Chain A
Amino acid sequence: MTNLDNDRPPVLRLHGIQQVYGTGEAAVHALRGIDLDVAQGDYVAIMGPSGSGKSTLMNLLGCLDIASDGVYELAGHDVRSLTERELATVRNEEIGFVFQSFNLVPRMTALANVELPLIYGGVRRAERRRLALEALDLVGLADRADHQPQQLSGGQQQRVAIARALVTSPTLVLADEPTGNLDSASTEEILSILDSLADAGRTIVIITHEENVAERAHRILTISDGMIIRDTAAAAVTA
């Protein structure tokens, strides 16, 4: 394991993670024993062909799914031992998820979408509004706060989604192919936002199958057939 920042405690710790779908002969082993530490402030890209298990890994990291076997510790909590309610709190406070298909709630303004995690976090209205506008400002969409998702371009929608992921100041930002549905100009916008987040010390894990996207990360993991086959520091690492 190439961990360049041994002095900082890991945000993520995975040990022997397995994910099996189905049973018996129809069983599909999506993940076959993943061991991984991600330190605070790290910017990690996970690469791999489709079907390699990288999305499965991402869903486990985001607590959207539960692993069949193995240990997953997020900011010191053993995720498997958490109750449904505690899991909801972890998703709300520790994780900011950016999806490939944006996943904004339709017929709700950009502002309302960004406010959603804060509502579930029990933040008061005035404070909520301030934080949401701040997050939208960070992604350069403060002037689009009253637009509904269908009135925004793909790139803008993804920026709203990033604002929504950031608004709770999560421990970990997870991005599942965030540029997969975007043109190159929008891709560049999103990547530069992620860059600045990484520079600001956020822990980011991004899934991609595009080399140019992965190169922006500090560390690149390559997954194949449900196992990590390579773990390298990217060229641009500033350590």
Chain B
Amino acid sequence: MSFFEILRSAMRGVTANKLRSILTLLGVTIGVGSVILLLAVGNGSAQTVQSAIAGLGTNTLTVRASQAGGGGAETASTAGSSVKTITTAVADQLDSAGLGHVKEVVPQVSTSLTVSSTSTSSTDVSVIGSTAEYFDVSTAKVASGAAFTAADVTTSAKVAVIGSELASTLYPTGSALGQTISVDGSSFTVVGILASQSSSGFTDPNTVVIAPITRVQKSYMGYGAVSTLTVLATSSDDVTAAQGEVTVMLNQLLGVTDTSDEPFTVTNQSSLLETAAASATSFTVLLGAVAAISLLVGGIGVTNVMLVTVTERTREIGIRKALGATRGAILGQFLTEAATLTLLGGVLGVIGAVIGTHWQINGTQPVILGYSMPLALGVSVAIGVFFGVYPAARAARMRPIQALRAI
């Protein structure tokens, strides 16, 4: 019996009972489709998280003072030691220390103040003091106007770049650009307005005031400790090296003798990225588990239909054997039938899933995982073929008269 003959008789078997074939197809289609689609949703949300974090810049380090809070001018002398705090002077020293993997060191201070225009005021506005390089290392980008310059920092100029939402709150009718705002009594000229961005931290990035660090310290906080240093590494590959260099240099600059009690912590975005990637992966695994269950249920459906089909056709197997069919010919026919049905259903499931990924699901754009297609297809075909062929193999092993007497 040639392969073509086997294929033809299998096709005849598939088309002989259309309803049953369609139900089998449907089981496989839904199983395969849901696995691919759910994994794609998990993957899509993982990628969204990752790209959001990547937007923060993967080549930056953040140095936070452990004890010194927002603007304490006190020296953070733990256990009576002579450990100094991180000040702008320390930041400058760090910046000019010639560390191989460090490109820039940007100090920041922050506090919370009341900001008002001539008409309205806004309380508890986050006021960040930094250098002109702040706009290079942070996600804050100036949309209109310009950032303040290094000269503004040197001269402690009373200029500010403000968040887009704050701008429209203070000047609801016209542009805030060029206007004067009052920050806790001192007047600042708005030189730039930030592009609006999604919130990724505790403070809303759209309601901040960013001013030269010298001015913020002079007017509100004094020349004490800075809250954070943002360190820009030479490239994203050098972040770890830069972290080591910064830690060593800071310990030296601050006179830290006990490295287990450093007055600062250094974090990098890639460790944050790894954490987020891990949580996204577990989300994908969860969705994958749900999908696997649906594949299993679909597989049980297929199993049922296949078992019933073959049991029903035991007599037919008997007839075929009586007419001289070998065991191989019978197996070939049922194998081809089962493979055709499940493959067709699986391919339909793949097509359905691919079409489905064109729409956002719950705010997430699904991204198909490459391995999910052969995996889902392979599992469903394997289930269908096994349960289509195994009972047929049992029937084909019988003496013809046993098969003929069935049912």
Contacts and interface: CB of A to CB of B under 8 A. Distances in A.
B401 A88 contact: no
Interface in B304-329: 315-316, 318-327, 329
Contact of B323 (A66, A85, A112, A116): A116
Give the dominant DSSP class at B's interface. Answer: helix
A104 B322 CA distance: 11
B9 A119 contact: yes
B345 interface: no
Interface string A61-101: 01111100000000000000000110011111100010100
A117 B324 contact: yes
Interface of B: 1-2, 5, 9, 12, 16-17, 315-316, 318-327, 329, 399-401, 404
Nearest to A168: B324
Nearest to A89: B324
B322 A120 contact: no
Question: What's the interface size class on A, roughly?
Answer: 20 to 34
A106 B404 CA distance: 14
Contacts of A99: 404
A105 B401 contact: no
A121 B324 contact: yes
Contact of A62 (B17, B316, B322, B326): B322
A164 interface: yes
A93 B401 CA distance: 18
Contacts of A106: 16, 316
Interface in A98-118: 99, 103-108, 112, 116-117
Contacts of B12: 107-108, 112
B1 A103 contact: no
Interface in A107-160: 107-108, 112, 116-117, 119-122
Interface in A165-215: 168
Given A64-B400, A64-B404, A120 B326 contact: yes
B329 A120 contact: yes
Given A88-B324, A91-B322, A120-B1, A105 B399 contact: no
A103 B325 contact: no
A91 B2 CA distance: 19
Given A105-B319, A107-B16, A116-B320, A65 B325 contact: no
Contacts of B1: 119-120, 122
A59 interface: yes
Nearest to A62: B322
Nearest to B17: A107
Contact of B325 (A66, A88, A90, A168): A88
B12 to A, nearest CB: 7
A105 B316 contact: yes
Counting from the closest, the 7 A-B pairs by CB-CB distance are: A92-B324, A107-B16, A64-B401, A64-B400, A88-B326, A91-B324, A120-B324
Contacts of B318: 103
B308 to A, nearest CB: 15
A84 B321 CA distance: 11
B323 A164 contact: yes
Given A88-B325, A91-B324, A120-B325, A65 B399 contact: yes
Given A107-B16, A122-B1, A117 B401 contact: no
Nearest to A122: B1
- Among A88, A107, A121, the one with the most B-chain Cβ atoms within 10 Å of its Cβ is A88
Given A104-B319, A122-B1, 9 more contacts: A59-B401, A88-B324, A88-B325, A91-B321, A107-B17, A119-B1, A119-B5, A119-B9, A120-B326
A97 B281 CA distance: 63
